[in-house]
Amino acid sequence: MGARITGWASAVPPTVVTNADLEARLDTNDAWITERTGIRARHVGGVTSALTVESGRRAMAMAGVDPASVDLLVLSTTTPDQVVPATSSSVHHELGLSGAAFDLNAACAGFVYALVVADSLLGSGFRRALVIGSDALSAITDQQDRSTAVLFADGAGALVVEGGGPEPLLLAQDLGVDGSAARLIYSDRGGYMVMEGREVYRRAVRIVVESVGRVLEQAKVKLDDIAVFAPHQANLRIIEAVNARLGFPMEKTAVVLDRTGNTSSGSIPLALVAAAEQGRLRDGDLVLLSGFGAGMTWASAIARWGAPPGRPA
Q: Which residues are catalytic?
A: 108, 232, 262
Cβ nearer to ligand ACO, comparing 293 with 308: 293
Of the candidate residues 11, 91, 106, 108, the single one contacting ligand ACO (CB under 6 A): 108
Q: What track of x and - describes contact with ligand ACO for positions 188 through 227 (by CB under 6 A)? A: ---------xx-xx--x-----------------------
**β-strand 286-293 against 226-231: which pairing, if any?**
parallel
Spatial CA neighbour of 292 closest among 168, 215, 205, 193: 205
| Count of other CB atoms within 10 angstroms of residue 124 | 8
Of the candidate residues 44, 62, 172, 185, the single one contacting ligand ACO (CB under 6 A): 185
Q: What pairs with residue 7 in β-bridges?
A: 160
Cβ nearer to ligand ACO, comparing 17 with 185: 185
How many residues of this chain interact with ligand ACO, rule: CB under 6 A?
Answer: 23
Site stretch for ligand ACO (CB under 6 A), options 29-37, 46-54, 223-231, 276-284: 29-37
147 binds ligand ACO (CB under 6 A): yes
Cβ nearer to ligand ACO, comparing 36 with 127: 36
> Do 32 and 2 contact (CB within 8 A), yes or no?
no
By CB under 6 A, the residues from 56 to 95 that bind ligand ACO are none
**Eight-state DSSP code of residue 250:** G
Site stretch for ligand ACO (CB under 6 A), options 27-35, 47-55, 82-90, 298-306: 27-35
Burial class for 203, CB neighbours closer than 10 Å (0-12, 13-18, 19+) = middle
Rounded to the nearest whole angstrom, what is the least distance from the CB of residue 276 to ligand ACO in the complex? 24
3-state helix, strand, coil in the chain (%, to 5): 40, 25, 30
Please tell me whether residue 148 adopts helix, strand or coil conformation.
helix
293 binds ligand ACO (CB under 6 A): yes
In angstroms, rounded to a whole number, what is the distance separating the alpha carbons of residues 72 and 130? Answer: 6
186 binds ligand ACO (CB under 6 A): no
Q: Where are the alpha helices (DSSP H) in the chain?
A: 19-25, 30-37, 48-63, 87-95, 110-122, 146-149, 197-219, 236-246, 257-260, 267-277
Of the candidate residues 44, 50, 107, 219, the single one contacting ligand ACO (CB under 6 A): 107
Site stretch for ligand ACO (CB under 6 A), options 1-9, 83-91, 207-215, 231-239: 231-239
Q: What track of x and - describes contact with ligand ACO for positions 264 through 283 (by CB under 6 A)? A: x-------------------
Rounded to the nearest whole angstrom, what is the least distance from the CB of residue 32 to ligand ACO in the complex? 4
Please tell me whether residue 171 adopts helix, strand or coil conformation.
strand
Site stretch for ligand ACO (CB under 6 A), options 144-152, 242-250, 268-276, 280-288: 144-152
| Count of other CB atoms within 10 angstroms of residue 182 | 13
In angstroms, rounded to a whole number, what is the distance separating the alpha carbons of residues 163 and 3? Answer: 4
Residues that bind ligand ACO (CB under 6 A): 28, 32-33, 36-37, 107-108, 146-147, 150, 185, 197-198, 200-201, 204, 234-235, 238, 262, 264, 293-294
